[in-house]
């Protein structure tokens, strides 16, 4: 790769970050001033999509008809920081995403995410984790549509970790279908440890829903593994459940 190509790619990466930054600033202003929760969520969904539209990132969504008309839980593989904004922008506005509790430490991000409907779950402190889990189950029982990245983290190397159970407990107790979603391309665009994104296509495959009471998913563990297997079959990355996964707890 010559210096000109590298320079063009770097300039595109800077422009992509600037586009994202502008959308974040606009979203902060809107969630501060707009009292309606629905209007806030609709605007943040539009802004998240524009963060990909402005730098002309190719995003393809397949299977949108697999999303039930009613409330449900979506679960997706996690490969990059852009996965959250990507799903926020290209799924219906009604989905509220469950995010790691560490985001509470960064006040502007916490404010924006909380005011746009996101939930937080503590991963390191047991009492906080139990409290947050109860709040998520309560949201599911109230009929909210929730989005999860059940691996809980991502890494530079390809592969899908074991799924944590929170999404599947919430779905089971809320009597909601689980919709697996496979994200492809985000690990190339912005892998862990990379500062500037690279231009590349992104693919969101919305897979058939797993209905409540499916005989193959009698427990949360079974439900998690069925959803995970469906995502693995589409993404085509290694199965890292045994090698690097966090405990199923």
* Residue 245 vs residue 174, higher pLDDT: 174
Per-residue pLDDT at 234: 96
How far is the C-alpha of 97 from the C-alpha of 101, rounded, in Å?
A: 12
Read off the pTM: 0.89
Under the banding of pLDDT at 50, 70 and 90, the label for residue 156 is confident
Q: pLDDT digit string (tens) for 60-80?
A: 999 999 999 888 999 999 999
Percent residues over pLDDT 90 in the chain? 54
The highest-confidence range among 122-131, 169-178, 214-223, by mean pLDDT, is 169-178
pLDDT band at 101 (very low <50, low <70, confident <90, very high): low
- What ranges do the domains of the chain cover? 58-235
Domain spanning 58-235: which superfamily? Glycerol-3-phosphate (1)-acyltransferase (3.40.1130.10)
pLDDT value at position 79?
A: 94
Tell me if 179 sits within 8 A of 35, measured CB to CB: no
């Amino acid at each position: 790769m010559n210096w000109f190509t590298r320079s063009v790619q770097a300039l595109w990466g800077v422009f992509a970050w600037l586009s994202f930054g502008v959308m974040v600033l606009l979203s902060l202003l809107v969630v501060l001033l707009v009292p309606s929760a629905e209007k806030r969520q609709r605007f943040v969904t539009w802004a998240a999509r524009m963060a990909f539209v402005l730098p002309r990132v190719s995003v393809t969504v397949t299977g949108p008809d697999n999303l039930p008309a009613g409330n449900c839980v979506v679960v997706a593989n996690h490969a990059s920081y852009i996965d959250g904004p990507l799903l926020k922008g290209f799924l219906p506005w009604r989905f509220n995403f469950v995010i790691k509790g560490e985001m509470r430490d960064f006040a502007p991000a916490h404010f924006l995410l909380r005011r746009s409907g996101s939930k937080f779950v503590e991963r390191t402190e047991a009492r906080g984790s139990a409290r947050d889990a109860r709040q998520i189950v309560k949201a599911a029982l109230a009929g909210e549509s929730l989005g999860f990245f059940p691996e809980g983290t991502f890494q530079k190397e390809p592969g899908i970790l074991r799924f944590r159970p929170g999404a599947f407990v919430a779905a089971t107790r809320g009597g909601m279908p689980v919709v697996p979603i496979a994200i492809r391309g985000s690990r190339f665009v912005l892998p862990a440890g990379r500062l500037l994104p690279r231009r590349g296509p992104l693919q969101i495959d919305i897979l058939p829903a797993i209905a409540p009471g499916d005989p193959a998913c009698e427990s949360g563990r079974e439900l998690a593994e069925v959803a995970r297997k469906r995502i693995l079959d589409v993404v085509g990355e290694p199965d890292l459940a045994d090698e690097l996964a966090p405990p199923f707890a």
